[in-house]
Amino acid sequence: MTWQSIEKSLQTQLITMRDSSEIRLPEGNFMFANSLLLDDKHFVTIQGAGIDKTVLSFAQQQSGAEGLKISNCSNIRLKDLTIEDAKGDNIKVTDTYGIEFDGVKSHWNGEPKEENGAYAFYPVLCKNVVIQNCIAAGASDAGIYVGQSDSVTIRYNKVYYNVAGIESENSRWVEIHGNEAFKNTGGILIFDLPGLTQLGHTTRVFNNVMEENNYKNFAPEGNIVAAVPPGTGMMLLATRDIEIFDNQFINNRTSGLAIASYDLVSAMSTEEGSQLNNNIETARQDASYDPYPTGIYVHSNSFENGKLLPTTQNEFGLLFMMKFPFGTPDIVWDGIAPDRESFEFCLENNGEFKFADLDAANDFESLNTDWVAFNCRGTNINPIF
């Protein structure tokens, strides 16, 4: 393989290009020593010759926290290229209105490890986000992450060998559909955390395949996603107004779908100074933050689990091994709510599945596997796009 350098010329183009223009990158393998920066540009396209044909590598990066950083822009499109091996995040986008990734691969080579960057795709504080036909692999936090953003579409992507395949955090009006999440620690996560600029709501998750998300958790200790058990198809944390339908949950060894309050996560962390513990302190001081999920409608999904044993690398896995020795639950709720009657949760037309209400607030004393109390029709969310 022959590596070439276009770093100086490409960074110059990114600085001097006019709005409503395009950069076309040729086929080839290009090595970079520094971050690439795109700032205050509008209606710009950066297009390569195709995934694995135009490769931008940061394996020898000497300065900068990201591979490509985009900020304060609008209507930016990245298409048909690969970005790999940045010291930090491969692609970070902030404060941008209109960002589209189409046919972009973002990954770290070699065996997934804690030293890899946190995020392959990382738009945060953005609006009108589209991530489609992309590949994300090797991220030590999330392959595709969208944080504190509005009007988001994540569709037709493949995510594997990440801690979280896809993560939507404190984002609103989100559609996640047509994706394949496999061989991650957790396939799809929808989280709401305290102390951020906004709370998330209104998410549709449909027509995805979450299969064999049983990979070891290699997140740095103390990170929020370090609490995700290997073998999690999908996890909801302290979020609301979620419709989950027409998905396939296949051979996720700990649970297909897990629904948790922030109280449960808080109880798991004692590490002083960790990200998780800092967030716990923030949650206690944030009067606007509601740590309990609600408004969840799960219907028309299929669950398959070929008698796999849960992970033994995590407290949840050990609990499930003890409580469910003959088969882990496909759908599990931690059972924590200030008023259990106010927890809006409906299960409908999901075929055969195993359910567990853990009653975690009472030390699992009244664990219940009967889901009849949640057999109801929930609220359909209108298509967002």
Each residue's pLDDT tens digit, 302-329 = 999 876 677 676 677 777 777 776 678 8
- Residue with the bigger pLDDT between 310 and 202: it is 202
pLDDT confidence of residue 355: 95
pLDDT confidence of residue 279: 53
> Which of 80, 12, 19, 74 lies closest to 46, judged by CA?
80
Assess contact for 240 and 293: CB atoms under 8 A: yes
pLDDT confidence of residue 278: 54
Average predicted confidence (pLDDT) for the chain: 91
**Cβ-proximal residues to 363 (8 Å cutoff; 6+ apart), any chain:** none
Distance (Å, whole) CA 221 – CA 225: 9
Handedness of CA 3, 8, 62, 122 (dihedral sign): negative
Res 50 pLDDT > 80: yes
Residue type, 290: D
Distance (Å, whole) CA 11 – CA 36: 6
Average pLDDT of the segment spanning 346-362 = 92
Assess contact for 175 and 197: CB atoms under 8 A: no
Residue type, 197: T
Going by pLDDT thresholds of 50, 70 and 90, the confidence category of residue 175 is very high
pLDDT confidence of residue 269: 55
Average pLDDT of the segment spanning 286-311 = 87
Average pLDDT of the segment spanning 243-255 = 95
pLDDT confidence of residue 282: 59
To the nearest whole percent, how much of the chain has pLDDT over 90?
A: 77
Average pLDDT of the segment spanning 145-169 = 98
pLDDT confidence of residue 321: 72
> Which of 305, 309, 313 lies closest to 355, judged by CA?
305
- Residue with the bigger pLDDT between 366 and 92: it is 92
